[in-house]
Amino acid sequence: MSFKTSVKMVAGAVMAGSIQAAVADDLTLCWASWDPANALVELSKDFEKESGHKMSFEFVPWPNFADRMLNELNSGGGLCDLMIGDSQWIGGAAENGQYIKLNDFFAKEGISMDDFIPATVTGYSEWPKGTPNYWALPAFGDVVGWTYRKDWFERPELQKEYKGKYGRDLAVPKSLDELKDIAQFFQNRKIDGKTVYGAAIYTERGSEGITMGVTNALYNYGFEYSNPAKPYDLKGFVNSKEAAAGLEFYKELYDTATPPGSSNWYMGENIDAYKSGQVALQMNFAFIWPGVEADPNVGGGKSGYFPNPPGPAGHFAQLGGQGISVVASSDKQAAALEYIKWFAQKEVQDKWWRAGGYSALKAVVEDPGFVSSQPYAKTFLDSMAIVKDFWAEPAYADLLLPMQERIHDYVIAGKGTAQEALDGLVDDWTEVLKDEGKR
């Protein structure tokens, strides 16, 4: 190779490098700080290789996630280019122009929302709900479900005692009442010389915890957010007698079948209580299941999973999960859209599921091998078929806070009656919706 050729090659390489550098962006993706986020960091390395863009991440612990990120969106800050925001934020983010609308982009790139689990499209992407206006790509399907100590359930002496007491097998509960019986059965029981308790349930006060927990009882007892025939008509739906019975059920579960001191527990505390062998059952979002399976104490077949059991009025579970959106104040929107295009691919979604992320792509979850791919895969699918979500109105935070307060006041602090708590909630929500011009 002559000197001239070498110089040309080096010059070419430098030029190519500088062109690449000119188009390469440093994208920041904002999400909650939890296991799936770590999986996404690993997954995103493929995107960096393919696109030349550099990925940075801003992860905030769950209790501060909404505060921190909504502050960022409201202030039009430049920190996040991509946001994996909570499902309830979609209304506010769409109406206040904080996310960019993705319809044209989806049409151009051939991304169809029909390819995703319908509940995730409604929950994470649409605003207004039920209309084909998309502000996010379903990124992480999640739902509240239950984890139980299969190894304890299988113990012959416990099975015998349970059958003698309740007249049925100690097995996955078929109703909320059965779940309560099982939790009460384990409460204060000695197992392997250690006192254990029934169930770890959501009771957290500061962010959204107790609401995400209690709705799993309320929905199944007949609670509705509003009159199905007349939106925003709350009276008699939020505070129906059936809804009050659901709230009483949750309080009884808390009073009689949870570990002492569990008055402010959410995802992390429930995981800890379960993994340390304190409880027989735990309520939690599905995202924890890969971690349970991998845990040396409770994984490897010692745990089982089941969807939230039905109640007297229906069978629902609280939706979790998030969609991925492009932040309107970002000056790297083109690169951010590239990321979404890359993330929507079947191969990437397959890898996402294998890494511990819950794909919402139908091609992944409807694959014949999906159900047997993980012990919790079927429970995830069954749960995603029964989801219901909290308000996703722009004023969702105003609606969430009084619910946290009213429910915590009744369930944990024992203030008033269930009916009074829900009547108060109707007053609070009516005031918020009036302020919003929705009443």
With contacts defined by CB under 8 A, name the span among 14-22, 204-212, 321-329, 356-364 that binds another protein: 204-212
363 versus 413: smaller Cβ distance to another protein: 413
Q: Which residues contact 287 (CB under 8 A, 6 or more apart)?
A: 34, 35, 36, 140, 142, 320, 358
Our finding on whether 434 is near another protein (CB under 8 A) is: no
Our finding on whether 206 is near another protein (CB under 8 A) is: yes
User: Prior bond to 128 cis, omega within 30?
Assistant: yes
* Chain length of the chain: 439
With contacts defined by CB under 8 A, name the span among 53-61, 108-116, 171-179, 413-421 that binds another protein: 413-421
Our finding on whether 412 is near another protein (CB under 8 A) is: yes
**C-alpha span between 82 and 382 (Å, rounded):** 30
170 versus 400: smaller Cβ distance to another protein: 400
Our finding on whether 92 is near another protein (CB under 8 A) is: yes
Our finding on whether 109 is near another protein (CB under 8 A) is: no
54 versus 68: smaller Cβ distance to another protein: 68
Our finding on whether 368 is near another protein (CB under 8 A) is: no
Contact call for residues 279 and 292 (beta carbons, < 8 A): no
Q: How far is the CB of 134 from another protein (least distance, A)?
A: 21
What letter represents residue 199's amino acid?
Answer: A
Our finding on whether 53 is near another protein (CB under 8 A) is: no
Buried b (16+ CB within 10 A) or exposed e, 241-253: ebbbbbbbbbbeb
CA terminus-to-terminus distance, the chain = 80
Q: How far is the CB of 95 from another protein (least distance, A)?
A: 8
The H or E element spanning position 405 is helix 396-411
Residue 148 φ/ψ region, left for φ over 0, alpha for ψ in the -120 to 50 degree band, beta for the rest: beta
| Residue corresponding to tokens 């919003």 | 436
Of 20, 71, 112, 297, the one binding another protein by CB under 8 A: 71
Our finding on whether 19 is near another protein (CB under 8 A) is: no
**C-alpha span between 421 and 254 (Å, rounded):** 16
Touching another protein, residues 228-267 (CB under 8 A): 259-264
How would you class 342 by CB atoms within 10 Å of its CB: exposed for 0-12, middle for 13-18, buried for 19 or more? Answer: middle
Our finding on whether 204 is near another protein (CB under 8 A) is: yes
Q: How far is the CB of 21 from another protein (least distance, A)?
A: 36
**C-alpha span between 100 and 94 (Å, rounded):** 8
Give the distance from CA 158 to its chain's centroid: 33
Touching another protein, residues 269-288 (CB under 8 A): 278
Q: How far is the CB of 439 from another protein (least distance, A)?
A: 16
Our finding on whether 388 is near another protein (CB under 8 A) is: no
Our finding on whether 300 is near another protein (CB under 8 A) is: no
Our finding on whether 70 is near another protein (CB under 8 A) is: yes
Our finding on whether 56 is near another protein (CB under 8 A) is: no
Of 379, 408, 425, 429, the one binding another protein by CB under 8 A: 408
Of 19, 241, 414, 434, the one binding another protein by CB under 8 A: 414
Contact call for residues 90 and 392 (beta carbons, < 8 A): yes
Specify the pairing of strand 279-285 against strand 144-149.
antiparallel
Contact call for residues 179 and 173 (beta carbons, < 8 A): yes
Q: How far is the CB of 150 from another protein (least distance, A)?
A: 23
Our finding on whether 415 is near another protein (CB under 8 A) is: yes
Q: Which residues contact 214 (CB under 8 A, 6 or more apart)?
A: 202, 246, 247, 250, 407, 411
| Residue corresponding to tokens 């992944």 | 364
Of 48, 58, 233, 409, the one binding another protein by CB under 8 A: 409
Our finding on whether 77 is near another protein (CB under 8 A) is: no
259 versus 307: smaller Cβ distance to another protein: 259
**C-alpha span between 379 and 145 (Å, rounded):** 8
128 versus 206: smaller Cβ distance to another protein: 206
Q: How far is the CB of 97 from another protein (least distance, A)?
A: 8
Binding site for another protein (CB under 8 A): 66-67, 70-71, 74, 92, 96-97, 195, 204-206, 259-264, 278, 394, 397-398, 401, 405, 408-410, 412-415
